[in-house]
Structure formats: structure tokens, C-alpha cells
Amino acid sequence: MSIPNFDDVAVTPTMAEWDDAALMQACVAGDEQAWAVLLERYGRLIYTIPLRFGLPRSVADEIFQDVCLLLLEGRDNLRDYRRVRAWLVTVTRRLCIRRLRQQDRELVAELPEEMEDSAESAVESDLTAIEEEYLVHQALERLSTLCQELIRALFFESPPRSYDAIAKALDIPVGSVGPTRIRCLEKLRREMSRLDQEGGGP
């Protein structure tokens, strides 16, 4: 029995590096590999938004399929393919709000109108940063392992680790943690700008 060559089915690095506009053009042409890359790039974003709205996983499953099919149908006026990330956030959010309205209909019916509006806008305001947050997430994945670990340890852990603990874990001198952290943050900022201009690509 021959061993399957998994290289044949792997996503080619070139396509994974394409910007959003090029990738979307391939998706619209029905390229399955382009779709795999697009879902790898934005699947987490689409799937996480309903969860942030407090909807259960079963509903997140349904909304994920609905959004993907809308994109596949080429509906909802996505003319500028570079804006696919923003489009996905907008469409997913709209479907989530529709679900929340259905789910809370009985509760909402008992609330004065102004309270209904404020409850919904509170959920929405939590989501205004999600696109930016996802950008940080994507940009972080482009950095070296050292930078990723350093930034996660310093800024994303609660409580943050001490410089001594980080130096020991990363096997670097404690005196270099400060300067390295600034360099890594600068790289992160650059990658975010690049992603912002080009759309995705790891």
C-alpha cells in the first residue's frame, strides 16, 4: 500500500499569502483551495462573533453556514473584495442580532422601547473592537515565536508575568526583555498596518 502524499492536498504557500482581493477573485471563480484558505483566514472570526453575542454553539454553527452561503452566493453587495473582512463582520453581526431579537422576543416585549435599544447597543459596542482585535490576532501569528510568546506573556496573560519569569521561560537575559518587547510591539504594529492595507495573508 502506498503512503498518501499529503503535500498534494496541502494549501500552496503562494495562495495562503495572497491578499484578500486576489483570494476572493479565486473564490468567486469557484476555486475550492481558495475557499479553504479564506475559511482558514476568517473562519474563526465568523464563528466567534455569535459566541461573543452569548449565542450557543449550535446557533454559531447555523450562522457560520448562513454567512458562508451568502458569500458563496455573492449576495449583499460585496463589490470591493479588499473589504471582505469588514463585510463578514457586518453580515455576521446582522444575523446575530436577528437571532437575539427572536430569542428575546418575549423578554423584549415587556421592556420599554428605550431599554430594548440600549440592551442591543451594549452588545453591539462590545463588538465594535472585534475586527481590530482579530487583526492583532492575525498580525501576532506573523511574528517570530519569541515575539509571540513575549507579547502573550506580557500583555495577554492575567496577571502578567514578571520580567524575571519571562526571561527564564524564554531563555533570554532579563535585561533584554524590555528592549525586545518594544521591538516586538513595533513589528506587531507594522504587520497590522500591512494586513489593514492588503487584507489577510499570514
Interface residues with another protein (CB under 8 A)?
30, 32, 35-36, 39, 43-48, 51-52, 58-62, 64-66, 68-70, 72, 98-99, 102-103, 105-106, 129, 132-134, 136-137, 140, 155-156, 158, 182, 185-186, 188-189, 192
Specify the residue, 168 or 189, whose C-beta has the smaller distance to another protein. Answer: 189
Note every long-range contact of 173-181, with CB atoms under 8 Å and residues 24 or more positions apart, other chains counting: 177/150, 180/146, 180/147, 180/150, 181/150, 181/151, 181/154
Kindly state the smallest distance separating residue 35's Cβ from another protein, in Å: 5
Tally of CB atoms within 10 A around 12 = 11
In angstroms, what is the minimal distance from the CB of 27 to another protein? 8
Cell matching residue 189: 504594529
**Shortest reach from residue 119's CB to another protein, in Å:** 17
- Angstrom distance (rounded) from CA 9 to CA 38: 16
> Which of 142, 138, 145 has the alpha carbon at shortest distance from 180?
145
Give the shortest CB-1-to-another protein separation in angstroms: 24
> Which residue lies nearer to another protein by CB, 39 or 172?
39
Q: Which is nearer to another protein, 17 or 62 (CB)?
A: 62
Query: What ranges in 53-112 are assigned the alpha helix state H?
Result: 57-73, 84-103, 105-109
Closer to another protein at the Cβ: 117 or 186?
Answer: 186
